[in-house]
Amino acid sequence: MVKKDIAILDIGSMAICCMVGEKGVNGTFRIKGRGNAEYAGYQNGKFLEPDQVKYALALAIGNCEKNYGGKITELIVGVPGEFSSVVCREVSLSFTKRRKINDTDLRQLYYVGNIYKKHPTHSVINQSPIYFTLDDDKRIIEPRGMASTKLKGLISYVLAENNFLDYTSRLLSELGIKKVSYMSACLAEMLYLFDPDIRDRYAILVDCGYITTNVMLGRGDGLLFMNSFSIGGGYITGDLSQCLKISFNEAEMLKRKVVLSWDAKDSDTYEVQGKDYIAPYSATATNQIVEDRIDMIATYITKCLNRCEFEFPDFIPVYLTGGGLNFIKGIKDYLGRKLSRRVELIAPNLPNNNRPDYSSELGLLALSIQNQENNSFLMAR
């Protein structure tokens, strides 16, 4: 690999994506290679077909190498929400005299707050600030260069399951990857999709994927809260397949036809076109099946937000990303009614890569580039 190129691995609940890129102009990237491999995914913190994970990793990396035209030996792996958790801690340092805050002080603050260095089941993979305070106790985002006799901060630590880290590292080592580091896929998404001024006022992000949904509350440069549950857009496809007794592929095509805002009559139908046929399906029955599953997803999102120990304003919207729900027409208004909160759809603002199901992989690439440029210590492992 060329020295400035960065390779990331995004482990989704439907597919694994490997991508190589570098910084472009005006906040864009130059994507030099991308490879995908579908697999069974994971549910409730476990891979559904663990024996096939190595094959999927090899296929995704191999496809990326073909597009890239070179060998990948180093990878930054995004840890999914289902294999990680977030803890926020208030940490403080005192100095013998008033002086300017520097990088060494920040490193020391993070180090003091990291009480998980020898944790038996989890390791810190990211550490980032929600806010800092100095002598005047006013909350600030950037303390470097400011004079004070003390430094306090609310620091967010993302912890990943050691079982996931060890398992993934072993498989990648067997595939010839010499260096592996890890970062939170959820944190990367939050930092990439929202401008700092929005995050400073809190941001709620829901990434609904194929099997898994992640619910996040972000502020400053970190995650205040993260929770996951194993229901995603693939369940809607499964419901359609089972209830209408059609193939999974037909159910997926039918799902893409759904318009939730359509006040359909009993005689109205959606038409799915196959290779040599057109099949009609009741619009009212189809919408009811889809709505029932979305109602369940909305209930779980609400439960996740209710678990959050931090207060956040009622008026801030829920931003929805990922490929599980965003492609369903009318989802924004329908989900907003179910959550009793405004819902906005969000996706990467990148030409030719502005799909909501690209949020995680592009977030990982963006944060990796930022860390490389700034020699950042946001990434802990």
Domain containing 103 — which CATH number?
A: 3.30.1490.110
- Could you tell me if 18 and 55 lie in one domain? yes
**Could you read off the pLDDT of 222-281 as tens digits, one per residue?**
999 999 999 999 999 999 999 999 999 999 999 999 999 999 999 999 999 877 888 999
> Residue 53: what are its φ and ψ, rounded to 5°?
-65, -40
| pLDDT(1) > 90 | no
- Could you tell me if 19 and 50 lie in one domain? yes
| pLDDT(375) > 50 | yes
- Could you tell me if 89 and 152 lie in one domain? yes
- Could you tell me if 167 and 78 lie in one domain? yes
Confidence of residue 93 (pLDDT cuts 50, 70, 90): very high
Number of domains in the chain: 2
pTM attached to this predicted model: 0.93
Asked if residue 244 is part of any domain, the answer here is: no
- Could you tell me if 41 and 91 lie in one domain? no
Asked if residue 325 is part of any domain, the answer here is: no
Let me know: does 63 contact 7? Beta carbons within 8 Å: no
- Could you tell me if 12 and 54 lie in one domain? yes
Cα three-residue angle 356-361-364, rounded to 5 degrees: 125
- Could you tell me if 36 and 89 lie in one domain? no
Percentage of the chain modeled with pLDDT above 70: 97
**Burial class of residue 11 in the structure, from the number of CB atoms within 10 Å of its CB (0-12 exposed, 13-18 middle, 19+ buried):** buried
Residue 48: give its domain's CATH number.
3.30.420.40
- Could you tell me if 154 and 39 lie in one domain? no
State the pLDDT at residue 371: 87
Q: Distance of alpha carbon 149 from its chain centroid, rounded?
A: 37
Mean per-residue pLDDT for 40-49? 94
Domain housing 56: 6-82+162-191+351-374
- Could you tell me if 26 and 124 lie in one domain? no
- Could you tell me if 36 and 150 lie in one domain? no
Crossing angle for the helix pair 359-374 and 185-193, nearest 10 degrees? Answer: 90
- Could you tell me if 131 and 175 lie in one domain? no
- Reference 380, options 123, 7, 82; nearest CA is 123
Q: Which of these three, 137, 159, 181, is where a domain ends?
A: 159
What the block records as the tokens of 241 is: 């397949």
